[in-house]
Amino acid sequence: MTSEDFLEGQIILIDKPLTWSSFQAVNKLKYILKRNFELPKKFKIGHAGTLDPLATGLLIICTGKFTKRITEIQAQAKEYTGTITVGATTPSYDLETEIDATFPTAHITEDLIQETTKQFLGEIDQKPPVFSAIKKDGIRLYEHARAGEAIEIASRKTTIYEFEITRIALPEIDFRVQCSKGTYIRSLAFDFGVALNSGAYLSALRRTKIGDYDVTIAISPEAFEVDL
């Protein structure tokens, strides 16, 4: 690879480590590339779809002229695997915040779990988590939430193409989901708990696919540096 290759455009598949933000991953690659190649100060690089720090998996990073393809890549269907923990909720719908309420689970059976997934197939209405980066009145929702401000969040349409339960070991339920752009898996976990007449939060998440791009051929930021 040469500096010209990265300026003309490259798509880099990164397996984002746990606790890293998507912004950190992009900055890490930008630092590596600028250190190894003569690139201009305004060298373009960006990711095609945020992953939360507590999620791992496929992060697509575009360089140079290929940053124009970010919107196109973001629009593609995505696949995730993960774990929903039932019997409790958290304000962020995941492990970023502490449990704020507990709920009964004795009535939850394997049949009920499998039957409940059917409610979420196809086009659904979904409210983003209050701890998300969406802006309301020019301020990101998580800033309102951390300030303790109560805000009304509008629901939005999203589509769940597949929702498969892969393991049940209560209170944990493992799943695989294929969904459209803009789907919040944290919200899906919370809503799934409500549909089970209990509560739930997302306790693990991994993005495995974006369109035809697969995490099985992605590499860690460290491996990317070694491979240059």
**Annotation marks residue 52 as catalytic:** yes
Nearest Cα to 60, choosing from 29, 19, 35?
A: 29
What are the structure tokens assigned to 23, written together?
């912004």
Instruction: Give me the torsion for CA of 188, 190, 194, 199, rounded to 10°.
Output: 150
C-alpha 120: how far from chain center: 18
Three-state SS across 117-177?
HHHHCEEEEECCCCCCCCEECCEEHHHHHHCCCCCCCCCEEEEEEEEEEEEEECCEEEEEE
DSSP, collapsed to helix, strand or coil, labels residue 42 as coil
Q: Which of 15, 52, 94, 191 is flagged as catalytic?
A: 52
Contacts of 191 by beta carbon, 8 Å cutoff, 6+ apart: 120, 126
What are the structure tokens assigned to 96, written together?
């970023």
- Measured over the CA atoms of residue 184, residue 185, residue 189 and residue 195, the dihedral's sign is positive
137: left (phi over 0), alpha (psi -120 to 50) or beta: left
Catalytic site positions: 52
